[in-house]
Each structure stands twice: as structure tokens, then as C-alpha cells.
């Protein structure tokens, strides 16, 4: 597995896109902190990177990479290696490179400029989001052999998580304004990793407001230690479940 | 001849003097010092007070005195040496002041009785004038210093701490009721129910006090007109500061900090009118100021930093002026619950302002609408807070800023400052 992983890692490095991605992230983050006069505005800019850019790049790059390396995968599998190993090595290679790019690009300026608790939370959720969307990309690429279709599905999924989901939740809020829907909303938020990450960061970023009437509810659910453990466990599930499904499919698939 | 006359004159003068002195002496009686202590003339404070004449000083040396309720019914000074301890044994009101012109200094009063029927306290002033309570330590009492029908009294540099856990077990730190012309200066109140509580108190100055970690409010007043609050510090109180049903109050240079929670406010203004707020700082509160039914209030040169809501202005407030304030790093600067806006915003600094200033006069050329769409949504539908800072909401907010449809049209600052005021 280590050898397969080495091949994958080398291949990704040769690709240079990951390096470009790292530099782009770094430029974005450093400029956000040095242009804005107060640190909290910089954090907000970085928040948008974490919630929009990171998922987009992770899911798109991974999907395309898997489709492009289908010949390489076929070649590997023709050798006496475990199929599951190949797939896992591929996943680890991709998510490692995404995570490294994120930590180097965004993590360092965050830790340098932002409030420590906020920075740690943003780095942790960013890492989780990178891996989640790599895992979702694996699932997308297993669904169809058609490359255009696969990439299309992954873009749709990103749109859904990043934009559409919030719209739907807002709509629900207005429709059920007269009902006590706080608890349902908390459960709903677990259905989107992007929202879950955003709430976790908000609890650090807008502490004062989050202790208001509605915020207090979320503070109780997510802010306590058990809430944190549970939230990260949920994010972990978002990594594990799509990948597990894709792994099962990959093992049985006729390549 | 001359000698004779002068001698008579001198005799006369002396005689007159003696008569005059003898008539005035009883009033002026030379005050004596009565010492209380193990090796002193008096073993108990009560006996010393019993023997004291008007104007005498009772000097108490350091020891623990458990004498139950001590009534001071004549104008004397009670002064401690090195903070003698007067213990109420959780049963008695420690000092009851029932005379004018009493001075209480440098005592440590602890463990007063607890009773909601009689509001037992460490020091209680009953319908008196010109009482001075200075430099005392009050520890673990029910009520701390209680003034009723008091006038012209001075409460200065006292430290009050209490350690009850529940509101109903606890009394207020400095509690004033139906009083007038008091001076409350430099006191520290910690762990009581309300730090400073006023009801029907007028013409009073409250200066340099610190109230923190009290169970309910740091400062709480009702029907207390024409008072002035300067340079006080209210931090981390259970529900912040709440002031109600009052007019003509001045608050300057006070700090309201870290009052966190669902119903906690930096300051809650309920039914206040004709007040003036200037130079106050509101830092990291869930809500900086909450205005409800408040009219003709002028708030200028205040600073709102890192609050959840800088200011919540309910629609039942009329003719308030919010001028020249700094709004920095608040989640929401302003929110309101209605469409009608009869208040005025002018020349404030908003860090969320994104306009420009072509003629460099430090006044933005484009008006600023401090009310974000999302603050209106959250006001109506509070669980929507969950969606805060999501991309969708930012988009909606941006378009609302350009073409207001859901937010009141006239909720506007026409002369937003480009740089913060130096306050």
C-alpha cells in the first residue's frame, strides 16, 4: 500500500496543480489579513475560502483526477495487489495533498493573525471539509463511467452544499416560523457538512451574538464539549460513509 | 483714668465671653473618644454607644464582635481600627442607623441575617440625613447597604462581596429606596443579587463604582429621576444592567462589558425618556443597548465593540438621537422589530460602511443603512441565526443594501464617518 501511495503522491506532485492551489490559497489568505484593517474582517474573508473554495477545488480536482487515472488504476489492478488497497491509497494520497495545501496555504496565516481558538477551529474544519469533498468525489466517480456526467454531478453536489442548502433551510424557516423548529434545524444542519463547519466556526467567531436567544440553543448543542465531539464525529461520518460506499462499488466493479 | 476704664472694659468683656461660652458650650460639647476592645474601657460596642454623647467617636479595635443587632440612635462616629469584624451570625441586621449625622468607617461587617420579610442587611439607614458610610468591607451579607428615606448620605469606597448561588437567597449590594441627594462613590459590589438598586431615588450621583458578577443586574433602577452615573464599570453580571420607568438620567463614561446571555443586556432601557448617554463603552455584550419604549434619548460619542447586537431599537421608541458613535466589530450594529422609524442616526462611524469619500471631508458620500436584512430576519425568526455568514445570506444582504425592500427605508445615517472617533 505504501508503494502505491508513493506512486499516487508522486503523480499528484508532478501534476503541479496542487502546488498552484497552495500558492493561490496562501496569496488569498495573506492578502486578506494584510489588506483589512481589523483582524476579524480578514477572518471573514478566509471563512468564505474555507466554505466555498476548499470544497469546490477538492471535489473537482479529485473527480477529474480519478477519471484521468483510470488507465493507471487498471494497470495497477492487473498486478497482484488488493483492489481495496489501491482505492484507499488513492484516497489517502489525494486527501493528504489537499490537506497539506490547505494547512500551508491558509493554516499558517490563520494561526499567525487570527484569535487562536478561532484559528484552530477553522483549520480543523478546513481539513475535515477537504477530506469530505475528496470522499464525495470518489463516490461521484464510481456512479458513472461517463467523465462529463461524473464531473457534472460533483459540481451539482458542490452547488447544493454551498448555496442551495442554505436557501432551502431559509425557506423552511419562513414556512414554519410559527413552530418551534430549533431542534429540527439543528438536525437539518448536520445534513450539510458545509453548514456544520460554518456553525462550529461561528460559535468561536460571533460568541456574543451566539449567546443570544436562538444562538444559545446552538451553543448548547454544538458549543459544549460533547457537542464538539459529536459535530466532529458527524464530519468524520461524512468522510467515512461516501468513501465506504465507493470502496464497495470499486471492489465489485468491472473496470 | 485710662487704666481704670480699660480695666472695667476688660472685666466686662471677660464676663460677656463667659456668659456667651456657657450658653453655647452644651451645643459644642467637646467630643470624646470611647474605645472598645478587650483591654479598653468598653468591652462591647453596644455599651460604648449607650455611654456616648452626641458627636462622640466610638473607636473599635480589632477583634470579632457578635452582638446581634446594634442600633445607632445618636449622631456619633463609629470607626474601626484595622477592620474589626462585626458578625451578624446569619440572624441579625448588624447596624441599624436611626439618627442623622452618623459616620461608619473601616469596619468589616459579615454574615447578616437572611430574611425576605424584613430585608435584613449589614447596614440599614432609616429615614435619616447626612450619614457617611466609608471604607467598610461587607462580606457575605444578605443586603449590603440599605438606605430607606435617606437624604444627603454618602456611601464611599466600600467593598461588598457575597457568595450566594441563587437569586432568591440573595439581596442587593447597595439598595436605596425613596431617597434623595445621595452620593454613591467608589464602591465595589460582587456576587449580590443586584449590584446597585434604586427605587424612587432622585438627585443622586453614582460615580466610579464597580459591579461585577452579580447574580442579576449590575445596576437596576426604577422611578429614579434626575440621577447621574459617571465612570462606573459593570462587568459579567447575570443579566447586565436594567433601568426602567425613569426620566432625565445622565450616563457618562461608564463601561458595560461581557454581559452574556439570552436576556442579558449591556443596558436595558425600558420606558426611559429625556436621558443623555455619552462616552460609554459597550464591549462584548450579547446586546449593547436595548431600547424599549424610550423617548428623546441622546446617545453620542459612545463606543460599541464586539457585541452581538450593538443596539436594539424597538419600534416603540421615538425621537432618539444616535450621533457620533463608534460601531466596531459587532455582529449586528443595529436591529429593530418594525417598519416605522422615528429615530435619528447621524455622523456615526460604522466599520461595516463600504462607501467612499471623494472630497476627503471624512464624511462618506453615500448614506449608510445600518440595518442588515439578516438582522431583520433574525428579529422575526430567531433560529435563522443558524444561517448567519452563509454565502446565500451575504448575497441577499448585499442586494438589500442597494435596494431596501424588507428593511425600513428611512433607517439611515446620511453622514457616516470614514474613520472612527478617538474616544
Interface touch B391/A166, C-beta < 8 Å: yes
Q: Which of B335, B387, B393, B406 is the mutation pick for testing A, counting most A CBs within 10 A?
A: B387
Quick check: B23 pLDDT over 90? no
**Which of these ranges, A89-98, B4-13, B217-226, has the smallest mean pLDDT?**
B4-13
**ipTM score:** 0.77
pLDDT of residue B177: 95
> Does A198 reach chain B within 8 Å, measured CB to CB?
yes
Q: Which of B383, B392, B396, B418 is the mutation pick for testing A, counting most A CBs within 10 A?
A: B383
pLDDT of residue B119: 87
pLDDT of residue B26: 53
pLDDT digits (tens, 9 = 90+) for B378-421: 887 777 777 888 888 888 888 887 777 777 877 899 999 999 99
Q: B89-402 has which fold?
A: Pectate Lyase C-like (2.160.20)
pLDDT of residue A10: 86
324-363 of B, contacting A, C-beta below 8 A: 328-332, 351
> Does B259 reach chain A within 8 Å, measured CB to CB?
no
Cβ atoms A186, A221 nearer than 8 A: yes
A214 or B41, greater pLDDT: B41
Across the range B129-146, mean pLDDT stands at: 95
Nearest CA in chain B to A181: B383
Q: How far is A162 from chain B (nearest CA, A)?
A: 7
Quick check: B289 pLDDT over 50? yes
- What residues of chain B lie within 8 A of the CB of A185, using their CB? 383, 386
Interface touch A216/B309, C-beta < 8 Å: no
> Does A175 reach chain B within 8 Å, measured CB to CB?
no
pLDDT of residue A35: 80
DSSP A69: T
Domain boundaries, chain A: 2-162+239-252
pLDDT of residue B1: 46
pLDDT of residue B261: 80
Residue B7: which pLDDT band, with cuts at 50, 70 and 90? Answer: low
Q: In a structure prediction context, what are the per-residue pLDDT tens digits for chain A, which is 255 residues long?
A: 788 888 888 888 888 889 999 999 999 999 988 886 677 778 888 888 889 999 999 999 999 999 998 888 888 888 888 888 889 999 999 999 999 999 999 999 999 988 888 899 999 999 999 999 999 999 999 888 899 999 999 999 999 998 889 888 888 888 887 888 777 877 887 788 998 898 888 888 876 666 665 666 667 777 778 888 888 999 999 999 999 999 999 988 877
pLDDT of residue A143: 86
Q: Count of CB contacts below 8 A, A vs B?
A: 104
Across the range B16-27, mean pLDDT stands at: 62
Q: Which of A167, A209, A216, A217 is the mutation pick for testing B, counting most B CBs within 10 A?
A: A209
Quick check: B25 pLDDT over 60? no
CA distances from A54 to A22, A34, A61, A205, B35 (A): 11, 21, 11, 19, 79
Residue B27: which pLDDT band, with cuts at 50, 70 and 90? Answer: low
pLDDT of residue B3: 55
- What residues of chain B lie within 8 A of the CB of A214, using their CB? 378, 382-386
> Does A89 reach chain B within 8 Å, measured CB to CB?
no
Q: How far is B345 from chain A (nearest CA, A)?
A: 23
- What residues of chain B lie within 8 A of the CB of A177, using their CB? 380-381
Sheet holding B240-247, edge to edge: B70-72, B95-97, B121-126, B143-148, B174-177, B196-199, B219-222, B240-247, B265-273, B287-292, B309-313, B332-335
pLDDT digits (tens, 9 = 90+) for B352-389: 888 899 999 999 999 998 888 888 888 877 777 778 88
pLDDT of residue B28: 55
**Which of these ranges, A102-106, B84-88, B224-228, B375-379, has the smallest mean pLDDT?**
B375-379
Interface touch A214/B378, C-beta < 8 Å: yes
Alpha carbon distance A138, B290 (integer Å): 51
Nearest CA in chain B to A222: B386
| Residue ranges with strand state E in B265-348 | 265-273, 276-278, 281-283, 287-292, 298-300, 303-305, 309-313, 318-323, 326-328, 332-335, 342-346
B116 or B126, greater pLDDT: B126
Nearest CA in chain B to A167: B392
> Does A40 reach chain B within 8 Å, measured CB to CB?
yes
Quick check: B223 pLDDT over 90? yes
Q: What is the pTM of this model?
A: 0.82
Nearest CA in chain B to A44: B389
Amino acid at each position: 500500500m505504501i508503494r502505491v501511495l508513493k506512486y499516487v503522491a508522486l503523480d499528484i506532485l508532478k501534476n503541479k496543480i496542487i502546488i498552484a492551489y497552495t500558492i493561490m490559497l496562501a496569496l488569498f489568505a495573506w492578502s486578506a489579513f494584510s489588506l483589512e484593517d481589523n483582524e476579524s474582517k480578514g477572518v471573514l474573508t478566509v471563512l468564505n475560502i474555507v466554505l466555498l473554495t476548499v470544497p469546490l477545488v477538492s471535489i473537482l480536482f479529485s473527480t477529474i483526477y480519478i477519471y484521468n487515472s483510470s488507465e493507471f488504476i487498471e494497470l495497477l489492478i492487473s498486478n497482484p495487489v488488493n483492489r481495496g488497497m489501491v482505492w484507499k491509497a488513492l484516497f489517502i494520497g489525494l486527501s493528504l495533498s489537499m490537506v497539506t495545501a490547505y494547512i500551508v496555504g491558509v493554516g499558517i496565516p490563520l494561526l499567525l493573525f487570527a484569535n487562536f481558538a478561532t484559528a484552530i477551529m477553522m483549520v480543523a474544519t478546513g481539513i475535515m471539509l477537504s477530506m469530505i469533498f475528496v470522499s464525495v468525489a470518489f463516490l461521484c466517480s464510481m456512479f458513472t463511467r461517463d467523465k462529463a456526467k461524473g464531473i457534472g454531478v460533483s459540481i451539482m453536489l458542490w452547488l447544493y452544499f454551498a448555496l442551495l442548502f442554505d436557501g432551502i433551510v431559509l425557506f423552511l424557516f419562513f414556512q414554519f416560523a410559527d413552530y418551534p423548529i430549533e431542534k429540527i434545524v439543528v438536525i437539518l444542519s448536520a445534513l450539510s457538512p458545509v453548514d456544520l463547519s460554518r456553525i462550529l466556526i461561528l460559535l468561536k467567531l460571533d460568541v456574543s451574538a451566539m449567546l443570544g436567544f436562538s444562538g444559545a440553543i446552538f451553543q448548547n448543542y454544538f458549543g459544549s464539549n460533547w457537542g464538539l465531539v459529536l459535530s466532529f464525529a458527524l464530519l468524520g461520518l461524512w468522510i467515512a460513509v461516501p468513501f465506504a460506499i465507493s470502496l464497495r462499488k470499486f471492489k465489485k466493479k468491472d473496470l | 483714668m485710662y487704666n481704670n476704664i480699660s480695666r472695667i472694659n476688660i472685666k466686662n468683656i471677660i464676663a460677656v465671653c463667659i456668659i456667651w461660652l456657657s450658653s453655647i458650650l452644651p451645643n459644642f460639647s467637646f467630643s470624646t473618644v470611647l474605645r472598645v476592645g478587650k483591654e479598653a474601657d468598653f468591652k462591647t460596642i453596644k455599651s460604648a454607644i449607650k455611654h456616648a454623647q452626641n458627636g462622640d467617636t466610638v473607636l473599635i479595635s480589632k477583634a470579632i464582635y457578635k452582638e446581634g443587632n446594634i442600633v445607632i440612635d445618636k449622631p456619633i462616629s463609629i470607626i474601626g481600627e484595622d477592620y474589626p469584624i462585626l458578625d451578624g451570625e446569619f440572624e441579625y441586621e448588624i447596624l441599624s442607623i436611626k439618627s442623622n449625622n452618623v459616620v461608619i468607617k473601616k469596619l468589616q461587617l459579615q454574615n447578616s441575617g437572611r430574611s425576605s420579610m424584613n430585608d435584613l442587611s449589614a447596614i440599614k439607614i432609616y429615614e435619616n440625613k447626612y450619614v457617611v458610610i466609608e471604607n467598610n468591607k461587607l462580606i457575605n451579607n444578605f443586603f449590603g447597604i440599605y438606605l430607606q428615606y435617606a437624604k444627603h448620605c454618602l456611601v464611599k469606597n466600600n467593598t461588598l462581596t457575597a457568595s450566594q448561588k441563587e437569586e432568591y437567597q440573595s439581596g442587593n449590594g447597595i439598595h436605596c429606596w425613596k431617597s434623595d441627594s445621595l452620593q454613591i462613590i467608589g464602591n465595589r459590589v460582587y456576587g449580590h443579587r443586584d449590584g446597585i438598586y434604586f427605587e424612587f431615588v432622585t438627585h443622586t450621583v453614582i460615580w466610579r463604582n464597580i459591579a461585577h458578577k452579580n447574580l442579576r443586574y449590575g445596576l437596576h433602577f426604577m422611578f429614579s429621576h434626575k440621577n447621574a452615573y459617571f465612570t462606573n464599570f459593570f462587568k459579567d453580571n447575570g443579566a447586565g444592567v436594567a433601568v426602567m420607568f425613569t426620566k432625565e438620567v445622565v450616563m457618562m463614561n461608564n463601561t458595560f462589558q461581557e454581559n452574556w446571555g439570552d436576556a442579558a443586556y449591556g443596558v436595558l432601557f425600558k420606558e426611559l425618556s429625556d436621558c443623555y448617554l455619552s462616552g460609554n463603552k459597550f464591549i462584548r455584550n450579547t446586546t449593547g443597548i436595548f431600547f424599549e419604549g424610550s423617548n428623546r434619548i441622546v446617545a453620542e460619542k459612545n463606543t460599541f465593540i464586539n457585541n452581538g447586537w450593538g443596539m436594539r431599537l424597538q419600534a416603540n421608541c421615538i425621537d432618539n438621537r444616535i450621533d457620533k458613535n463608534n460601531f466596531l466589530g459587532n455582529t449586528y450594529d443595529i436591529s429593530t422589530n418594525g417598519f416605522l422609524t422615528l429615530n435619528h442616526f447621524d455622523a456615526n462611524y460604522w466599520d461595516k460602511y463600504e462607501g467612499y469619500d471623494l472630497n476627503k471631508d471624512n464624511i462618506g458620500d453615500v448614506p449608510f443603512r445600518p440595518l442588515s436584512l439578516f438582522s431583520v430576519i433574525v428579529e422575526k425568526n430567531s433560529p435563522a441565526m443558524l444561517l448567519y455568514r452563509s454565502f446565500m445570506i451575504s448575497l441577499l444582504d448585499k442586494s438589500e443594501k442597494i435596494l431596501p425592500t424588507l428593511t425600513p427605508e428611512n433607517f439611515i445615517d446620511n453622514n457616516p464617518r470614514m474613520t472612527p472617533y478617538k474616544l
